[in-house]
Amino acid sequence: MNLLEGIAASSGIAIAKAYRLVEPDLSFTKKTVENVTAEVERFQSALAVSIEELEAIKLSAEKDLGTEDGAIFGAHILVLKDPELISSIESKIKEDKVNAEYALSETSDMFIAMFEAMDNEYMRERAADIRDVMKRVLSHLLGVSVMSPSEISEEVIVIAEDLTPSDTAQLNRKYVKGFTTDIGGRTSHSAIMARSLEIPAVVGTGEATTSIQDGDMIIVDGLNGKIHINPTAELLAEYEDEYKKYEVQKAEWAKLVDEKTLTADGNHVELAANIGTPEDLVGVNNNGGEAIGLYRTEFLYMGRDQLPTEEEQFEAYKKVLQGMDGKPVVVRTLDIGGDKELPYLNLPKEMNPFLGFRAIRLCLEETEIFRTQLRALLRASTFGNLKIMFPMIATLGEFRQAKAMLEEERVALEATGTTIAEKIEVGIMVEIPSTAVLADQFAKEVDFFSIGTNDLIQYTMAADRMNERVSYLYQPYNPAILRLVKMVIDASHREGKWTGMCGEMAGDEIAIPLLLGLGLDEFSMSATSILKARAQIKTLNQKDMAALVEEALQMGTAEEVVELVKKTCN
């Protein structure tokens, strides 16, 4: 099959060779060996190749990603040079007359268990290093290759079953031109990251990893959700043309970078950006972001093997606040869970992670994790215009508890002489239907709302945002969703508060006219969607949009709403 269809997750067109990022099969059986000297030599040469590989990766990681990332590989090399570990493996081969694969895995499991049981955080981290590098040596013994996103060093299209947010964070933009996955939807976190990294992506193709071989020529059409495998010269030329047209269009939008976002009848709405790391600020400023509407702080906690310290967090928050130079920055407290895991917290597996022990629920239990983050935020507050937002709030009780902890930390810090900004707005994400329905009560206590439609839609429609088979139920234009959004906006306005939206719906061109009509105050989206949204909003009249949405709210289906918007706004 030369064409795969999926969900257009990040716009743009990319053309390059395929690079399959798939979990290798590292299974083996225990064998008795007669020639133990030859077996030890086989182990030693797998070890040597692994060290050589790691040295090369370390060099290129230092060059492309910085010395900190390179240091991870330095620690891995040290493991492979550890005399105690290596001689234990060799002795096992010799004494038990077993194959190198078996000796390696038995011995390293023993070392891992020993390190994991230690009381010392640093030692526990070494367990993860051993696991990682032993996988590499084992793969050489078995003759299979192990891929890792940070090792990519030429222009490629990454093909994967799924990409975890930490895999996505490691993708090097210089080389990864696009990606496609078997599973995932428009609001899965790999898709969201792809948009902020400006990497064209198509997710949920169902069979990318089974249909595509390493080295196949691939076109990622992130505008229409298509993947072409080994295209004809004619199709390739067509896409090269398409790519140029898209670049021209982007240059047109770029002219709006310093403009305010005004509707045709002169009303201002705020176009803000969603970010995952301080590095994303470059994109926000290049795209004329007027604020940060959502800083997903969980990425600070991911792709590592221990919690970030208060100091590390303070530095990151300070950097973002300073980088925005007094413009509003909404920082969301830790929202872990769902498809964002933290293996080092060793939380038990759950049947329904999206409905489980996550986000504020976890923070209210694991209070030291939460309080550390709150302290870092409070300390950073004097460096800009900070607003704090709690995720996944389902009850007023949760909000009150979280806010009380914030106040306690403020009092404690002030007692030590720390200066903290006098006024910090404290708001919540509205992403659980109970909170949307009860917005009138919440509005009396919170300073603002930010509607998280990625989750609000998944919970309202009972459709897993990661499951491409139910992705047709991701229906931002469904009148049921529009009515919930209206309840929230109206409730906030009655109390003199404001409402933003930081789910993907805020940057959607069909949704924008409806949201303008509903009176949404702030639209927060991937930075790369801002200029296009600004261009669109300039052409829309708020009064007309209010009439349009009145009509939409009375409709029965999402399809009717789409038709109405297209008819009115084209």
Buried-state track 80-114, b at ≥16 Cβ within 10 A, e below 16: beeeebbebbbebbeeeebbbbbbbbebbeebbee
- Residue 308 makes contact with ligand PEP by CB under 6 A: no
- Residue 338 makes contact with Mg ion by CB under 5 A: no
Distance CA 167, CA 364 (A): 28
Binding partner of residue 479 among Mg ion, ligand PEP, none, CB cut-off 5 to 8 Å per kind:
none
Query: Residue 107, SS3?
Result: helix
Identify any residues that bridge with 434 across adjacent strands, giving them in sequence order. Answer: none
Q: Among 155-163, 217-225, 248-256, 453-461, which window interacts with ligand PEP (CB under 6 A)?
A: 453-461
Pick 290 or 431: Cβ nearer Mg ion = 431
One of 170, 453, 460, 471 touching ligand PEP (CB under 6 A): 453
Annotate each residue in 323-342 with x if it binds ligand PEP (CB under 6 A) or - if it does not, as one string. Answer: ------------x-------
Please provide the distance, in angstroms rounded to a whole number, between the alpha carbons at the two ends of the chain.
36
228 is catalytic: no
Q: What is the CA radius of gyration of the chain?
A: 26
- Residue 431 makes contact with ligand PEP by CB under 6 A: yes
- Residue 167 makes contact with Mg ion by CB under 5 A: no
Distance CA 236, CA 475 (A): 33
Pick 314 or 459: Cβ nearer ligand PEP = 459
Pick 431 or 522: Cβ nearer Mg ion = 431
Residues 171-230 that bind ligand PEP (CB under 6 A): 187
- Residue 296 makes contact with ligand PEP by CB under 6 A: yes
Distance CA 203, CA 160 (A): 9
Tokens for 563, please give them: 């038709």
- Residue 151 makes contact with Mg ion by CB under 5 A: no
189 is catalytic: yes
Distance CA 183, CA 447 (A): 37
Strand bridging mode 448-451 / 217-221: unpaired
Please give the sequence-ordered ranges of beta strands (E in DSSP) within 185-311, or none if there are none: 201-203, 217-221, 226-229, 270-275, 291-296
Contacts with ligand PEP: how many residues (CB under 6 A)?
A: 11
Angle at 325 between CA 319 and CA 326, to 5 degrees: 110
- Residue 455 makes contact with Mg ion by CB under 5 A: yes
What are the backbone dihedrals phi and psi of residue 498, each rounded to the nearest 5 degrees, phi first?
-120, 160
Pick 276 or 452: Cβ nearer Mg ion = 452
Minimum gap (Å) between residue 562 Cβ and ligand PEP: 20
Binding partner of residue 296 among Mg ion, ligand PEP, none, CB cut-off 5 to 8 Å per kind:
ligand PEP
One of 452, 513, 517, 519 touching Mg ion (CB under 5 A): 452
- Residue 231 makes contact with ligand PEP by CB under 6 A: no
Distance CA 223, CA 200 (A): 8
Question: Which residues bind to Mg ion, rule: CB under 5 A?
Answer: 431, 452, 455
Question: Which residues bind to ligand PEP, rule: CB under 6 A?
Answer: 187, 294, 296, 335, 431, 452-455, 502-503
